[in-house]
Structure 1
Amino acid sequence: MPKIWLITGSARGLGRDITEAALAAGDSVVATARDVARFADLESRYPGRLRGFALDVTDATAAQAAVDFAVETFGRLDVLVNNAGFGHISPFEQTEAADFRAQIDTNLYGVVNLTRAALPAMRAQRSGHIINISSVGGRTATPGLSAYQAAKWAVGGLTEVLALELAPFGVKIISVEPGGMRTDWGATAMANAPALLQDYEPTVGAILGMLKAYVGNAIGDPRKVAEIVVDLTTRDTLPAHLILGSDALHVFAQAEAARQQAAKEWAPVSTSIDIEGVDLSFLSRGSQS
Structure 2
Amino acid sequence: MTKTSPKTWIITGSARGLGRAILTAALENGDNVLAAARDVSQLADLKALHGERLEPFALDVTDEARTAEAATATISAFGRIDVLVNNAGYGHFEAFEQKYPTDFRAEVETNLFGVVNMTRAVLPFMRKKRAGHILNVSSVGGRVGTPGLAAYQAAKWAVGGFTEVLRGEVAHLGIRIVSLEPGGMRTDWADTAGNSAPNTVLPDYAETVGATLARIRAYAGNEVGDPARIAQLVLALAKRSDLPAHLVLGTDALASFDAAEATRQSDHARWLDIGRATVFGGPEGEALTALLPPD
TM-score by length of 1: 0.95
Deviations 1:199-230 (A, max 9, x none): 00000000111112100000111111111111
C-alpha distance in 2 between matches for 1:147 and 1:18: 25
Structure 1 residue aligned with 2:276: 271
SS state at 1:48 partner: helix
Structure 1 residue aligned with 2:69: 65
Deviations 1:169-221 (A, max 9, x none): 10000000000000000010011211111000000000111112100000111
Structure 2 residue aligned with 1:5: 9
Runs (4+) of structure 1 exceeding 2 A deviation are none
User: Are 2:121 and 1:105 equivalent residues in the alignment?
Assistant: no
Structure 2 residue aligned with 1:87: 91
Which residue, out of 195, 216, 219, partners 1:211?
Answer: 216
Structure 2 residue aligned with 1:55: 59
User: Which blocks of at least 5 consecutive residues in structure 1 are unaligned?
Assistant: 278-289
Deviations 1:102-128 (A, max 9, x none): 100000000000000000000001000
SS state at 2:185 partner: coil
Structure 2 residue aligned with 1:234: 239
The equivalences for 1:131-280 within 5 A come to: 131-194=135-198, 195-276=200-281
Residue 38 of structure 1: how far off its partner (Å)? 1.3
Amino acid of the structure 2 residue aligned with 1:73:
A
C-alpha distance in 1 between matches for 2:182 and 2:86: 14
User: Are 2:123 and 1:119 equivalent residues in the alignment?
Assistant: yes
C-alpha distance in 2 between matches for 1:215 and 1:84: 20
SS state at 1:257 partner: helix
C-alpha distance in 1 between matches for 2:196 and 2:249: 27
C-alpha distance in 1 between matches for 2:36 and 2:265: 41
Residue 99 of structure 1: how far off its partner (Å)? 0.9
Residue 11 of structure 1: how far off its partner (Å)? 0.5
Residue 276 of structure 1: how far off its partner (Å)? 2.9
CA RMSD of aligned residues (A): 0.8
SS state at 2:92 partner: coil
Amino acid of the structure 2 residue aligned with 1:179:
G
Which residue, out of 38, 41, 50, partners 1:46?
Answer: 50
Structure 2 residue aligned with 1:34: 38
SS state at 2:51 partner: coil
Residue 143 of structure 1: how far off its partner (Å)? 0.2
Structure 2 residue aligned with 1:283: none
Amino acid of the structure 1 residue aligned with 2:220:
V
C-alpha distance in 1 between matches for 2:215 and 2:38: 31
C-alpha distance in 1 between matches for 2:217 and 2:247: 27
C-alpha distance in 1 between matches for 2:275 and 2:30: 53
How many percent identity over aligned positions? 57
User: Which blocks of at least 5 consecutive residues in structure 2 are unaligned?
Assistant: 283-295
